[in-house]
Amino acid sequence: MKSRLYTLTGDQGTTSLIGGTRVPKDDPRVEAYGTIDELNAHIGLLIHNTKLDTQNVHDFLHKVQNKLFNIGAYLANPNATEVAGLNEADIKAVEQLIDNLDAELPPMQGFILPGGSRLSALTDICRVITRRAERRVITLSHSATVHPNVLQYLNRLSDFFFVFARFNNILTHHQEIYWDKNA
C-alpha cells in the first residue's frame, strides 16, 4: 500500500531532520539544504533548456544534481561527518570544466551584466542561487560543523555557472553587456 505524501507533522512550522530531531522550518540547517534543493530545481530547468552539449555539459549538470542531493542529505543530518559522494576529485572536475570553457572565451573587459541569451540568463539564475546556498551554508557553519568540501564545491560551482553563462553568450553570438556605472 502506498503511504500518504502529507504527514500533517509540519503544519505548525517545524520539520524533521534525518535522525528525527524537529526544528523550525526556518532553522539555518533547513535554510541551507532548502536552498540547495532550490538550486537543484533550477539546474533541472537549465538542463531542459540547454541545447548545447559542448564539453558534455548535460552529463556534468546531471552529476551536479546528484552531488547536490548528497550535500542536501548531509546538511539534513546533524550527525553526519562526511558528505557521501563528494570529494576533492569532484571539486577538481568542476575546476577542469571551468578551465576548458574559459579557454574558449575572450578576455573580460569589465563586469558583465546578467543575461544575454535565455540560456545565459537561466545560468545566471543558477549562479546567484549557488551563491545564496553558499551563504546559507556559511550561516549554518557558525553553529554546526560543515565539511569544507561543501563550501569549496559550491564556490567552484558558482564560478562554473559564471563561465558557462559567458560561454553560452559567445557561442550563440549574443553580445556580452558590460556594466556602465554612468548609465
For residue range 129-156, list pLDDT tens digits in order. Answer: 999 999 999 999 999 999 999 999 999 9
User: In this structure, what C-alpha cell is assigned to residue 28?
Assistant: 539555518
Q: Per-residue confidence at 10, pLDDT binned at 50, 70, 90?
A: low
For residue range 22-64, list pLDDT tens digits in order. Answer: 886 889 999 999 999 999 999 999 998 877 666 588 899 999 9
pTM value? 0.91
pLDDT at 11 over 90: no
Q: Which residues contact 1 (CB under 8 A, 6 or more apart)?
A: none
Distance in angstroms (rounded) separating the CA atoms of residues 94 and 64: 9
Please report, for the chain, the start and end positions of each structural domain, with discontinuous segments joined by +: 16-171
Distance in angstroms (rounded) separating the CA atoms of residues 6 and 27: 21
Judge contact between 27 and 13, C-beta under 8 A: no
| CATH number, span 16-171 | 1.20.1200.10
Residue 35: what pLDDT? 98
Distance in angstroms (rounded) separating the CA atoms of residues 72 and 135: 15
User: In this structure, what C-alpha cell is assigned to residue 37?
Assistant: 534543493
Residue 152: what pLDDT? 98
Give the count of alpha carbons within 13 A of 56, CB side only.
9
Mean pLDDT value across residues 114-122 = 92
